[in-house]
Amino acid sequence: MKLFIDTADIAEIERIAGWGVLAGVTTNPSLLAAVEGSEDDIYKRICELVDGPISAEVTADTAKAMVKEGRRLAGIHPNIVVKLPTCAPGLTATAELAQDGIPVNMTLCFTASQALLAASAGARYVSPFVGRYDDIGNDGIEALREVVDALFATEYDVQVITASVRSPVHVQEAAKMGADIATIPPKVFDQMLAHPLTDKGLEKFNADAAARAAKTKGTRKK
Ligand code: G3P
């Protein structure tokens, strides 16, 4: 499973990209609203930092306007993926952009039925939201599994992006069921990496290495 980062924060993208683990980036209007700078400059900088699909979401609300905005976003960089909502105008716009060869990520997907419609319209990626489904008392991981199973049984050339990820457990479960991608907030990347036994073990290795170095130094003096 490939790991994407779900943020528009350049410093955070640079930090996690430095780990060598990123295969792509997803953004959305809320994530963009949380950072300073022009939208286009942010997308261009992200494309410099990560060599992979970079989702840029449209804010238009009619199919015609979505197509126009999507074409403009796709023109920013060859790695831009146009992100469209899973609704009727979004499907219409996806079909039109897909015909032009522009990759689309259909977002705000919650069910296998929605995912099948997205794939059928020609979406290259579909993004089931796990955390937000949990938030309303449902089982987001089970909903994701239904999407993965349904699409796996079809002929569509579509990849599942596990979105609205809130914990390392979401990422692990997505990987185990065979989801193609998980898009992960920076905080969850930190949670995935951290382990007290790793810290404790490293502290001991460093102390033993220092003790040995001190001993060797002492021996040389004699
Ligand atoms: O990018 C879409 C998705 O990952 C949003 O996540 O945490 O706002 O539900 P969240």
Report the C-alpha gap between 82 and 67 in whole angstroms: 9
Nearest Cα residue to atom 10 of ligand 1: 164
The best mutation among 26, 129, 130 to test binding of ligand 1, ranked by most ligand atoms within 8 Å of the C-beta, falls on 129
The best mutation among 28, 35, 81, 105 to test binding of ligand 1, ranked by most ligand atoms within 8 Å of the C-beta, falls on 28
CA nearest neighbour of 148 among 175, 119, 178, 168: 178
**Which pLDDT does position 221 carry in this prediction?**
55
Residues present in the chain in total: 222
- Ligand 1 atom having least distance to the Cα of 27: 1
The best mutation among 132, 133, 191 to test binding of ligand 1, ranked by most ligand atoms within 8 Å of the C-beta, falls on 132
- The Å distance, Cα 67 to ligand 1 centre, comes to 23
Percent of the residues in the chain that have a pLDDT greater than 70, as a whole number: 98
Structure tokens at 106: 């259909």
Distance of CA 24 to the CA centre of its chain: 6
Catalogue the active-site residues. 83
CA nearest neighbour of 132 among 109, 160, 150: 109
Query: Which residue ranges have their beta carbon within 6 Å of ligand 1?
Result: 6, 26, 28, 129, 131-132, 163-164, 183
Buried b (16+ CB within 10 A) or exposed e, 170-206: bbebbeebebbbbbbbbebbebeeeeeeeeeeeeeee
- The Å distance, Cα 171 to ligand 1 centre, comes to 14
- The Å distance, Cα 197 to ligand 1 centre, comes to 30
pLDDT > 60? residue 222? no
pLDDT digits 0-9 by tens, 124-140: 999 999 999 999 999 99
8 A C-beta contact, residue 115 and residue 83: no
- The Å distance, Cα 56 to ligand 1 centre, comes to 13
pLDDT band at 220 (very low <50, low <70, confident <90, very high): low
Mind listing the domains of the chain with CATH numbers? Answer: 2-194 (3.20.20.70)
pLDDT > 80? residue 219? no
Report the C-alpha gap between 107 and 5 in whole angstroms: 15
pLDDT digits 0-9 by tens, 6-44: 999 999 999 999 999 999 999 999 999 999 999 999 999
Report the C-alpha gap between 193 and 78 in whole angstroms: 31
- The Å distance, Cα 52 to ligand 1 centre, comes to 19
pLDDT digits 0-9 by tens, 43-87: 999 999 999 999 999 999 999 999 999 999 999 999 999 999 999
pLDDT band at 217 (very low <50, low <70, confident <90, very high): confident
Report the C-alpha gap between 70 and 57 in whole angstroms: 8
8 A C-beta contact, residue 9 and residue 28: no
- Average pLDDT for 136-152: 97
Q: Which residues contact 125 (CB under 8 A, 6 or more apart)?
A: 53, 55, 81, 103, 104, 105, 106, 158, 159, 160, 161, 181
